[in-house]
Amino acid sequence: MSLTQAPVLDSTHLILRGPELHDFDSLAAFFADPDRAWGFGGAETRPDAWRWWACNIGHWHIHGYGYFTIEDKASGAPAGICGIWNPEGWPEPELGWVVFEGFEGRGIAHEAALRARRYAYEDLGFTTLTSNILPGNTRSVALAERLGAVFEREYDNVSMGRDMLYRHPGPDAATDTAPGRDDDGSVEAYA
């Protein structure tokens, strides 16, 4: 059972849905791994991961949007999180993504981000989105650029320090695949 009013979004290989209680262990495992979590604010203890998870559920109730759980259609397992984030102190709504261990290299972040962005533009009426990426997070930079986002500026993120802001194309310019790319399973489609 979803803990939010989040819609269920469908894509080719994924379901984006609201967080459910059984998703927490996968999220806590992500936060417990410093090598994986550093680009999302750093490693967290299980109790701190619980607070972030509860904050995301509250974010859905306050804003009407937040991070979806990415469910892999083939296995039914939580494969990551992706969605729109705009807590107090954020410069503006952000499109963010995380892929859990064992789900990398399959295009999951790319497919989920495209679907979440389309939801933000078509259903929520957003006219712009950003992705806030820590310097050195080359995989997220590559994915943002593959999505058509362009570097705009560096700024001091209230939660994570120095951050790079990438601007996504607006609803009229955004497509389900970035120019010159495809999502046919080739390496170019994967983050």
Q: Is residue 164 domain-resident?
A: yes
Q: Which residue has the higher pLDDT, 91 or 175?
A: 91
Lowest mean pLDDT among 49-63, 69-83, 118-132, 167-181: 167-181
Q: Is residue 1 domain-resident?
A: no
Write the pLDDT tens digit of every residue in 17-56: 999 999 999 999 999 999 989 888 888 999 999 999 999 9
Q: DSSP assignment, residue 90?
A: -
- Mean pLDDT for the stretch of residues 159-166: 89
pTM: 0.89
Share of the chain above pLDDT 90, in %: 76
Q: Is residue 3 domain-resident?
A: no
Q: Is residue 30 domain-resident?
A: yes
Closest CA to 49 of 77, 73, 70, 26: 26
What confidence tier does 163 reach under pLDDT thresholds 50, 70, 90?
very high
Q: Which residue has the higher pLDDT, 179 or 119?
A: 119
User: pLDDT at position 177, please?
Assistant: 55
Q: Which domain holds residue 100?
A: 9-189
Q: Is residue 2 domain-resident?
A: no
Residue 160 in 3-state DSSP? coil
Instruction: Sheet containing 78-85: give its strands across.
Output: 9-10, 14-17, 67-72, 78-85, 94-99, 130-133, 161-167, 150-157
Domain count, the chain: 1
DSSP 113-137: HHHHHHHHHHTS--S--EEEE-TT-
CATH number of the CATH domain containing 145:
3.40.630.30
What confidence tier does 3 reach under pLDDT thresholds 50, 70, 90?
confident
